[in-house]
Amino acid sequence: MAEENVTLVTEFVLMGLTDQPGLQVPLFLVFLVIYLITMMGNLGLIALIWKDPHLHTPMYFFLSSLALADSCTSSSVTPKMLIIFLSQNHKISLAECLTQFYCFGFSVTTECFLLSVMAYDRYVAICNPLLYPMVMSNSLCIQLIGASYFVGFLHLTIHVSLLVRLTFCRSNIIHYYYCEILQLFRISCTDPTVNTHLVLIFSAIIQVFTFMTIITSYSFVLFAILKKKSEKGRSKAFSTCGAHLLSVSLFYGTLFFMYVHPGSGPTEDKDKMFSLFYTIVIPLLNPFIYSLRNKEVIGTLRRIMKR
């Protein structure tokens, strides 16, 4: 037993979404289609915004950055999950595991701040339309986007640096479909208390700060909308903000349940289903939520298709 305990684990086994053989191929096809649509939607939206000079405005710069973050989130998790569905080899090396977690956590953290920045952008556009060109300058947009990505980079660098100090010798089985950090804590031979507390603290700070920024911004936006005399203006503003709030509610609801809610931890199938929202479903829905009801994006798409 003593010899077994000092044998360090250098690779893990991901159990995937389900262990039922009959579901592997159908789930592979479903998630393959979802992944392809997700990448086409997000990368297509980025290309559309880049190609049309009319869309070179702050709102669309933020939207393209969000689409890039969503693409990274989906790509960090889905390809490995698809391999697991069809392969008998569910192994993933420690280095690959840490890289997957880093890429996933980086993009999710970045998305939190991008959503708050987009909410602030809508607040300025609707509540102070005359000052909008001066307040939301190109330089400020670049700084806000850069800051969002930098915080994501810094946040995950801290967690991965602390993960490296952990050793794994009890088990190499991860009962999940990707290298989820709380699952890694559960199979660690080193006391992960510090890591666990930091995950809780940083998750709470980031989610509460960005969520409150979003709620505050949209509260002012709501009051401004209600004051509008034009029914057309109200309808357009409600349409834009309603789409944003739908995405935010799904995103923050699942994140809060997984990483901030007391006693939460992905150990059961229902928790896997919740995590599917921010790993798979949100990146799929975002480009359609933000663009399908946007007349400028639809107009640009129609012009390109007619050429």
Query: For residue 264, what pLDDT is reported?
Result: 46
* Tokens found for residue 144: 């806000």
For 163-190, what is each residue's pLDDT tens digit?
988 888 778 888 888 998 888 888 888 8
Average pLDDT of the segment spanning 51-74: 90
Strand-pair partners of 228: none
Question: What is the C-alpha to C-alpha distance for residues 47 and 178, in angstroms, rounded to an integer?
Answer: 29
Query: For residue 150, what pLDDT is reported?
Result: 96
For 228-272, what is each residue's pLDDT tens digit?
656 666 666 666 677 677 778 888 888 877 776 545 444 556 677
The total of other beta-carbon atoms located within 10 Å of residue 189's CB is 15
Q: Which of 15-24, 51-60, 106-115, 275-284 has the highest mean pLDDT?
A: 106-115
pLDDT at 294 over 90: no
Query: For residue 245, what pLDDT is reported?
Result: 79
Question: What is the C-alpha to C-alpha distance for residues 301 and 178, in angstroms, rounded to an integer?
Answer: 35
Question: What is the C-alpha to C-alpha distance for residues 31 and 81, in angstroms, rounded to an integer?
Answer: 9
Contacts of residues 222-231 at CB distance under 8 Å and 24 or more positions apart, as own/partner, are 224/126, 224/127, 225/126
pLDDT at 3 over 60: no
For 63-120, what is each residue's pLDDT tens digit?
999 999 999 999 999 999 999 998 888 899 989 999 999 999 999 999 999 999 999 9
